[in-house]
Each structure stands twice: as C-alpha cells, then as structure tokens.
Structure 1
Amino acid sequence: MVNFELYKVFYLTAKSGSLSKAAKELYITQPSVSHSIKLLEESLGLPLFARTSKGVDLTKEGAILYSYIEQAYNFISLAEEKLNELRNFSSGEIKIGGSDSLCKHYLLPFLESFHVQYPHIQINLVHGTTPEIVKNLKEGKIDIGIVRTPIHDDQLQVREGITIQDCFVTGPKYRELSKGKVTLAELLAYPIILFSSNSSSRKFVTRLFSDNGLLLEPEIELGSVDLLIEFAKIGFGVSFVTKEFVAKELAEGSLFEVNLEASIPSTKIGIITLKNMPLSTAAAAFVAELENPG
C-alpha cells in the first residue's frame, strides 16, 4: 500500500531542503519528519537525502523520485483548482501556453473578450516552443496549449482553430520581389531571416524548400515575429512570417509580400489539451470561444 503521507513529507523536505522547514509546514516535529523519511527510504531500499551543513540535499535516487512526485503534486493541485472552479465560475485560473507571436497576434483579442465576460478569472500565459508547450501540458503546468498544426501525439486532443497563411515579406530595399514572380531557388539569392531552428514555423519552411530539392540556410535567426518584421522593414533581408500577423504593415506599405511562384500551403492553429483530462468550466468556455470566434 502506498503511504501518501510519507511522500508528502518527502516532497516538502526536498522542496525546502530543510527538515525544520518541512516540519513547520506540516505542523509536526523535526524528529517526526526524520522518522517518516527513514521509513520511506527503508520501504524503497534506497537513500533519498544526504545531510549537509545547510540542511539536506537529494541523492541521485532522491532526485529521480522527486521529479515524479513533483508532477503528482502539480496534478493534485490542478485537480483541486478545477473542482474549486466548478463550484464557483466567478473565480479560478486558466493557464495557457503559446509562442510569443501566437499570444500577441492570435490570442490577445480572445483574451480581451474573455476578460470582459469573466473579469474574476485569472489568466496566466506561459511562453515557449511547441515541444515546451506539450511538455508543460503533460506535466500539468498548463491547461491549454496553442500551437501550429500538424501535431501528432496520442496523449493530446487537438482542436482546430483559424487557418493561417505564411508568406515571405520584405521592406522597400527588396521591393522588386513583390512584382514579378520569384521562384524558391531565386529567393535563396537574397538574405533570408527566419525564426530559430526549434520553432514549428522554421521546420515548416525548411521542409517546404527541402521538398523542392533546396537547402534553406538563413542569414539571420531571430526569436520573435516582431524582430522578423522590423529586420525586414529596415532592409536586412526577407522574413518568413504569418500573413495575418503583418496585415497592418502590408496595408500601410512598410512591408511587401514576396510574389512567389510556388504556393505555400496554409496551416491551422491547433488548440491542444490532454485527452481524458476534463477542463474546468472556465477553460472549457475559453476553448469554445477559440473554436467558434465571433
């Protein structure tokens, strides 16, 4: 039988690095904390802590155990939060993961609308790449992830959001690219500006060139769509961006869309959640708004 109290003592001791701090948080004595840890170590047959002058440190075995127990506590805390939100829709929290560009250019209007409807629901945004967002979702650190599709994972439920269209843009310096038709091979003669290599946008455009027998090697790599826009504007080269995210710049003439001969396939924004993990009332309402804008 699993003694959850022992794991609770272990978790709080490991988190604080101190027997006395764990005892204070648990409202028990320090010898009781030591005894509980000894019982757990005997049960598992492995040492979990090493004493130091400042308190205790996890052993290698203890660190492995802690990585799992921490996830369990995250899920327990998440479950308690969800139940509380089900009791009272006027309070609660939604944790959403997404890239900087998707948060700013896609999520912001939805967040604004949702906040007007439910001003007491706290919204926390966690920024990251698609692999980081998936990891955070599986560890219970976020409720909803916003990513570019396709994404394939048996543990995830993927709902489709809006369709987006990527394109190459440039500033006035290379404006000629917006006039006559340009092939992918011809575009490689110009300095190319892309997202960093671990982004889904970068993988998408690299695959586009690879499928046409071309090697895409950017001259500049950047970490945000805002920098991609600004670097293209001032003449550093040609940036690969989502067209919907630069509509203003294209309309005002500070950016120009490259007139590519090849067509770039459109993609969809995916709203990802864990399968078999019910959403809170607030999170479900937000997902419904994303699925049915307007």
Structure 2
Amino acid sequence: MINYELYRVFYWAAKTGSLTQAAKALYITQPSVSHAIKQLEQSFSTTLFARGSRGVELTSEGKMLFSYVEPAFNYLNMAEMKMEELKNLEGGELRIGGSDSLFKHYLLPYLETFHQQHPSVQVHLLHGTTPEIVAYLKEGKIDLGIARMPIADAQLEVQEGISLQDIFVGGPKYDYLKGKTLTLEQLLAHPIVMFSRTSHSRTAITKLFHEQGYALEPEFELGSVDLLIEFAKKGLGISFVTKEFVTKELENGELFEIKLDRQLPPTQVAIITLKQMPLSKAALSFVDQLDL
C-alpha cells in the first residue's frame, strides 16, 4: 500500500491546482509537496501532473486516479464529521439530495422544524435528477436522497414515503373544459406544457400515451415546476404537474384539474441511503420527522 500521506498531498494539489496552496492546506513546505508527488509518480511509473506557470494540472492518468481518491477523502471527511456528531447535535452537517420541487413542496416544512430544533446543524441541499442523486450518494457527497420511485439499485436502501398524483391543469383560459372528461386525443388538441428534464413522472406519462398510440409532444418544455404553474395560470397551455404541488392554486381557483377518461398512475417518493452505511445522528433525526 502506498503511504496515505502521499495521497493526501496528491488530493490537495489536484484540488487547488497549486503546489503552494497544497502546502498551505497541509501545513508543510512546498518542497515536501513536490517530493511527495514525485514519490507517488515513481510508484505508479507515470506522470500525474503537468506543471505550468500558473500551477499544476492533472494529466489523464492523474484525473483517473483523482476520480478514486476524491470519493475516498469525501468518505473520510464524512466519517470524521459523523464521529463529532455522536457527541450531540450541536454541530455537524445534514446533506440531502433531491429535486427543487420536492425540496420546496415536500421537505420545506420538515427542514424548518429540524432547523428550529437543531440550529447549529448546517443543512446543505444538493439538487439533481434521480440518477444524479444516486451518484451523489455513492460519491459520499450527501447523507440521504429523496426521489421518486421506481429506484432499483442493489447498493441502495429504499424507504417508501408519501404517494404523489400527477395531473393536467389549466387556467381561466380553458374554463370551457371544466366539468368535462377528455380523452387523450382531445387533450392533445391543446398545447401541452411539461418539465424539460427527464423524470420518472414524464417517462411514465409518455409511456402511457405511447401505449395508447399517441405521441406526447409538448408545446413548451420548461426547467422548473414554478414555471409550469405560471404558464398554466397565464393560459399558455395545459401543464402536467404534481397535484400536491398546486393545492393552493387549485383551492383559490387560479387552476383547475383537467379530467381524463383514465386514471393516471400515482408515484411514490422514497428516501434513499447507502446500504451498510450508518446515518449520522442529524440524518437519523431528520428522517424520523418525515411522513413515511
């Protein structure tokens, strides 16, 4: 095994792009950094850094090594933080991965309560798609993730949560559709507004239309749930949204549900963690609050 300290030097040199900055971070001299890098390069019989006037850059071999070293150091840092948190919840971090919409419409009340109870715990939210959240977990960048099912991965612990129902909604411009039950063909006679990024809900609805012989081609593809709601309110089309995320708009009449002649399949939210990776006290405390 190569000395752990050599990897520490390599990690900081790669992270900062500077032997001088790496030396400062490690409280050692720059010649010591250079010597450690040289030892590591000799042990692998390859060049890990390209040196230039502005610092150092990883070679292709160095990038490959860093792709393994970085997650390892992330896990070590996480282990140190979790050991510190074992004392009490007067410090530490809670790192959660999920979509912006689930953060806003599902997790926000729980995050508010958690912060009130444990104000010293720093909360970090990392947004992304389900595949990105799974990758964040495996790289040690988050403690837990929240995403829509199905999620099939042997490395993950999947804890089923609340059920969500996706619907089509319209604004006042489409009041003439109130009280009517539309076929899929009748629905497609109107402009459709959908989320632009690939998601489980969009995949499911696209598959449903395809199975019935229809191609679901949105008039608008948007980058956030808030925009889907605004486009529907302004009459720019009929938006495909999660019913639980538009309860206020449905109650005050800004939007109404477009009824279809078939029931759209519900989806479930899941809390995902890595198997055999104990959760910190902060993460356990937060999960205990959730409506699962």
Class of the TM-score when normalised by the shorter of the 2 chains:
over 0.9
Which contiguous aligned blocks of 4+ residues in structure 1 show a shift greater than 6 angstroms? none
* Equivalent residue runs for 1:122-133 within 5 Å: 122-133=122-133
Gaps (5+ residues) in structure 2? none
Shift of 1:31: 2.1
Gaps (5+ residues) in structure 1? none
Count of residue correspondences: 292
Sort the Cα spacing of 1:181 and 1:126 in 2 relative to 1 into closer, same or farther, 3 A.
Answer: same
For 1:83, the equivalent position in structure 2 comes to 83
Instruction: Tell me which amino acid in the other structure corresponds to 1:84.
Output: E
What secondary structure sits across from 1:47 in the alignment? coil
What is the TM-score of this pair, normalised by structure 1? 0.95
For 2:243, the equivalent position in structure 1 comes to 243
Q: Distance in 2 between matches of 1:291 and 1:156?
A: 20
What secondary structure sits across from 1:259 in the alignment? strand
For 2:282, the equivalent position in structure 1 comes to 282
Q: Distance in 2 between matches of 1:12 and 1:213?
A: 56
Q: Distance in 2 between matches of 1:73 and 1:114?
A: 28
Shift of 1:168: 0.4
Q: Distance in 2 between matches of 1:61 and 1:181?
A: 61
* Equivalent residue runs for 1:59-208 within 5 Å: 59-208=59-208
Of residues 193-202 and 167-176 in structure 1, the stretch that sits farther from structure 2 once superposed is: 193-202
Q: Distance in 1 between matches of 2:175 and 2:52?
A: 65
* Cα shift readout 1:25-77 (whole Å, capped 9, x = no counterpart): 22222222222111111111111112111222211111111121111111111
Shift of 1:291: 4.2
* Cα shift readout 1:208-256 (whole Å, capped 9, x = no counterpart): 2123222101010011111111100111110011111111111111101
Shift of 1:275: 1.0
Q: Distance in 2 between matches of 1:33 and 1:25?
A: 11
What is the TM-score of this pair, normalised by structure 2? 0.96
* Cα shift readout 1:166-206 (whole Å, capped 9, x = no counterpart): 11000011123331210112111110000014223222221
Instruction: Tell me which amino acid in the other structure corresponds to 2:180.
Output: G
Q: Distance in 1 between matches of 2:8 and 2:109?
A: 41
Do 2:96 and 2:144's aligned partners in 1 also have CA atoms closer than 8 Å? yes
Instruction: Tell me which amino acid in the other structure corresponds to 1:6.
Output: L
For 2:210, the equivalent position in structure 1 comes to 210
Do 1:14 and 1:58's aligned partners in 2 also have CA atoms closer than 8 Å? yes
Q: Distance in 1 between matches of 2:4 and 2:263?
A: 57
What secondary structure sits across from 1:90 in the alignment? coil
Instruction: Tell me which amino acid in the other structure corresponds to 1:238.
Output: I
What secondary structure sits across from 1:286 in the alignment? helix
Do 1:195 and 1:201's aligned partners in 2 also have CA atoms closer than 8 Å? no
Do 2:201 and 2:267's aligned partners in 1 also have CA atoms closer than 8 Å? no
What secondary structure sits across from 1:61 in the alignment? helix
For 1:20, the equivalent position in structure 2 comes to 20
Q: Distance in 2 between matches of 1:213 and 1:79?
A: 52
Do 1:86 and 1:281's aligned partners in 2 also have CA atoms closer than 8 Å? yes
What secondary structure sits across from 2:86 in the alignment? helix
Instruction: Tell me which amino acid in the other structure corresponds to 1:251.
Output: E
Instruction: Tell me which amino acid in the other structure corresponds to 1:90.
Output: E
Q: Distance in 2 between matches of 1:284 and 1:87?
A: 14
What secondary structure sits across from 2:97 in the alignment? strand
